[in-house]
Amino acid sequence: MVVTGNVDDTEMLNMDTKPLGVQEILAGVISLVCLASIIGLINLIRIDLHEGATKVPSYEDMRKIAENDLHTLQSSMVSLVAKISSLASLKEVLTAQIESTSVMIKEKYPSVPLTPKTFLDRTYADYKIKKPLRDIAEAALNDMKTRLTGIGGEKEVAQQELDRINKDLSDSIEKLRHLDLSKGMQVQNWLRGNCRPIRPWFHGSLALILLGVFVRLSFRLALMRGWIKPNKV
Amino acid sequence: MNIKTEANTAHVTMDPGERFFFKGSHLRGVSAFNWSLVPPYPFGSPIARALHGCYFGMKYVDADTETRGVAITGHHPRGSFISIDVPPGHQYYVNARLLAGFSSRFEKIHTHIKVAPVYWCVKKHFFPVFTGPGNILLYSASPIQDSAALEFQPERIAAFNIQRRFQAVPPAPTTVASQGINVFSRETIWRFLDGGQTFVESHNFEEAHAGKGSLGHVLKHILLLRFLG
């Protein structure tokens, strides 16, 4: 159909009062669904960002955990050293070793807090938190065991004390390994359950796509209802 | 100045002292022309004109002391020319893609940039506007006609007086399936609210040949036309 002549302005104004058609209802419903989905996704992203930032332990927190473990080890060592005070050099060796281990631990765990922007770093953080803690503690203890086996003095007394030290150290290593693994697993499980790196990106991308659909359908609905005003070039 | 157009040929007759600029590709076989080193109206819609080959390298013909005529032929066998005589003070939008030439008497050429919602609907924001007096020569690969109708595809519009108001409207399908498709369609119709002349192509040559034979085109036909159309 070819329309010629002038179009009456009242015809354009009356478009707003004409009954809704199938296409207009469809466009409106889909637009509302998209809008509701966008709001829900934004809420999910907000939760991801907010809880992710507050719940994920920082490097500083994990450094303190590692230090506490080492302090537990240190207390154990001090009590062992007190038992073998006759072997004077052992105390100095153990103290120096423990101090150097503490320094090494602090260097391995720099105090860099996680920010919401570094979601993808969390798996790496998990690796950095768990593995060096166990490696360093085990290396330190093994080194101490090696040094203790070379200490001189009265042979029988020293042998007895060394046997006890070795036994206690083995117990401490086992205890430390158990504690360290459980903490690591806790962190890892928390990360897997609450802070999967892909989630905010997935939700964000989905929200953007839905935003595009919403804008386009809203425009289409406005076009169908005649809400877009006439204009001149 | 007098311009006679007949299908794929145009004859431009210039009075003494007049000058007419031609898009270079339309002057094949015409030897008596001059190269325009500096683009005519250098600040008049330079980007749109440059994109469609009517900014740099335009040629012009002068009628110095006596009346002079130039006959040109389009490069498409079924193409057509049409001329627009723009009265003094009137402003015409001209699709730069179809611009084949214009006289040197125009007061000015400039671009109207529009961002209101209606322009997003018709997907056009930059409008080259010629302010009269002057003559414009348009060329299309399909016939161009001077229509008094009010509704057109935006892609087909070649030129019109910019004082006319227009509105974007969607197609009005009748079947439920077509209405469902129309919700997601990008097709809009350019609807003038005021009467007047509109220069339009019979069909959009570029659009008609875009994407033909592509997988998307075939799938669209199978899905939309066979099952839902």
- In the predicted model, is pLDDT for residue B20 greater than 50? yes
Residues A115 and A143 in one domain: yes
Q: Number of structural domains, chain A?
A: 2
Q: What is the CATH number of the domain that holds B167?
A: 3.60.160.10
Residue A25 CA to residue A137 CA, distance in Å, equals: 67
Predicted pLDDT at A114 = 43
Domain that holds residue A203: 20-56+199-233
Residues A163 and A63 in one domain: yes
Averaged pLDDT for residues B56-72 = 87
* Cα-only R_g, chain A: 34
Per-residue tokens: A112: 């860099």
Predicted pLDDT at B172 = 86
Which residue in B122, B157, B119 sits closest to B138, CA to CA? B157
At CB < 8 Å, which residues of chain A contact B?
2-7, 9, 12, 21-23, 26-27, 30, 217, 219-220, 222-224, 226, 228-233
- In the predicted model, is pLDDT for residue B146 greater than 60? yes
Q: Number of structural domains, chain B?
A: 1
Cβ–Cβ gap B166/A231 under 8 Å: yes
Pick the range with the lowest mean pLDDT from A32-36, A189-193, B22-26, B154-158: A189-193
Q: What is the CATH number of the domain that holds A133?
A: 1.20.120
Residues A82 and A177 in one domain: yes
Residues A129 and A39 in one domain: no
Give chain B positions within 8 Å (CB) of A2.
149, 151
Domain that holds residue B102: 2-228
Residues A69 and A159 in one domain: yes
Pick the range with the lowest mean pLDDT from A164-173, B18-27, B138-147: A164-173
Q: Is residue A153 part of a domain?
A: yes
Share above pLDDT 70 across residues of chain A, in percent, rounded to a whole number: 29
Q: Is residue A12 part of a domain?
A: no
Nearest CA of chain A to the CA of B23: how many Å? 25
Coil, strand or helix at A51: helix
Nearest CA of chain B to the CA of A226: how many Å? 7
Q: Is residue A11 part of a domain?
A: no
Q: Is residue A2 part of a domain?
A: no
Q: How many CB atoms lie within 10 A of CB A58?
A: 15
Predicted pLDDT at A118 = 41
Residues A71 and A158 in one domain: yes
Give the confidence band of A1 by pLDDT, cuts at 50, 70, 90: very low
Residues A79 and A97 in one domain: yes
Give the confidence band of B190 by pLDDT, cuts at 50, 70, 90: very high
Give chain B positions within 8 Å (CB) of A218.
none
Q: Is residue A212 part of a domain?
A: yes
Q: Is residue A50 part of a domain?
A: yes
For B156, the enclosing helix (H) or strand (E) is none
Give the confidence band of A203 by pLDDT, cuts at 50, 70, 90: confident
Residue A110 CA to residue A124 CA, distance in Å, equals: 14
Residues A39 and A128 in one domain: no
Q: Is residue A4 part of a domain?
A: no
Predicted pLDDT at B65 = 84
Can you list the alpha helix ranges (DSSP code H) found in chain B? 46-51, 117-122, 176-184, 205-209, 215-220
Predicted pLDDT at B7 = 82
Cβ–Cβ gap A3/B191 under 8 Å: yes
Cβ–Cβ gap A7/B179 under 8 Å: no
Residues A97 and A188 in one domain: yes
- The interface residues of chain B toward chain A in range 21-80, judged by CB-CB distance below 8 A, are none
Averaged pLDDT for residues B68-76 = 86
Residue to test with chain B: of A225, A227, A232, most B Cβ within 10 A:
A232
> Residue A140 contacts by C-beta under 8 Å, 6 or more apart in sequence?
A73, A97, A98, A101
Residues A50 and A139 in one domain: no
Residues A69 and A50 in one domain: no
Q: Is residue A48 part of a domain?
A: yes
Per-residue tokens: B121: 């609907």
Per-residue tokens: B74: 């389009």
Give chain B positions within 8 Å (CB) of A13.
none
Residues A169 and A62 in one domain: yes
